[in-house]
């Protein structure tokens, strides 16, 4: 019984330490820093968090206007949330052209306000709370209700 309890405690101590650590902008990977300086030059960073879980970590950057960007451990953007405002055009230019073409053709009055870079491709949220999934090449998959 003692051995079983010890194994549980060791497992928790080894794998249960998910935590956030507030860090400075300079702690971000260089790729993340460059991305922010290039695509969000006029938006002030309010907080940078290193999100540490059991096996890896990621980065979250919060801006004073409420916007958020998440980066992978390596510094590649993973999630951009502009909280109802349009994602900067310079960021949209990084997406496969099919995504922008589809959105403009089917939702001409909407703007992209949030982007998730997923393993299968992209998930974009438009103003009006419309979420659309695309594959890696930007081909339409489905509208997510």
| Model confidence, pTM | 0.85
What string of pLDDT tens digits covers the 145 residues of the chain?
554 544 444 444 455 556 889 999 999 999 999 999 999 999 999 999 999 987 889 999 999 999 999 999 999 999 999 999 999 999 999 999 999 999 999 999 999 999 999 999 999 999 999 999 999 999 999 998 6
Written as six digits, the tokens of 118 are 């997923």
pLDDT for the residue numbered 108? 97
Residues 6+ positions from 58 with CB-CB distance below 8 Å: 50, 51, 70, 71, 72, 73, 78
Measured distance CA(67)–CA(39) in Å, rounded: 13
pLDDT for the residue numbered 53? 86
Written as six digits, the tokens of 112 are 């992209």
Q: Are 52 and 62 in contact (CB under 8 A)?
A: no
pLDDT for the residue numbered 19? 86
Q: Which domains, from first to last, does the chain contain?
A: 1-75 (3.40.1420.30), 82-145 (3.40.1420.30)
Measured distance CA(121)–CA(135) in Å, rounded: 4
pLDDT for the residue numbered 127? 97
Residues 6+ positions from 108 with CB-CB distance below 8 Å: none
Residues 6+ positions from 55 with CB-CB distance below 8 Å: none
Residues 6+ positions from 128 with CB-CB distance below 8 Å: 107, 110
From residue 107, alpha-carbon distances to 40, 50, 127 in Å are 25, 36, 10
């Amino acid at each position: 019984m003692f051995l079983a309890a010890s194994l549980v405690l060791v497992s928790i101590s080894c794998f249960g330490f998910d935590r956030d650590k507030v860090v400075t902008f300079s702690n971000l990977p260089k790729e993340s820093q460059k991305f922010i300086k290039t695509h969000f030059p006029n938006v002030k960073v309010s907080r940078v968090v290193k999100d540490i879980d059991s096996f890896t970590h990621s980065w979250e950057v919060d801006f004073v206007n409420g916007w958020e960007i998440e980066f992978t451990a390596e510094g590649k953007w993973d999630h951009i949330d502009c909280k109802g405002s349009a994602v900067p055009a310079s960021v949209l230019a990084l997406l496969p052209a099919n995504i922008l073409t589809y959105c403009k053709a089917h939702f001409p009055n909407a703007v992209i306000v949030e982007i998730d870079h997923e393993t299968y491709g992209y998930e974009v949220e438009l103003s009006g709370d419309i979420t659309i999934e695309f594959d890696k090449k930007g081909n339409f998959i489905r509208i997510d209700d």
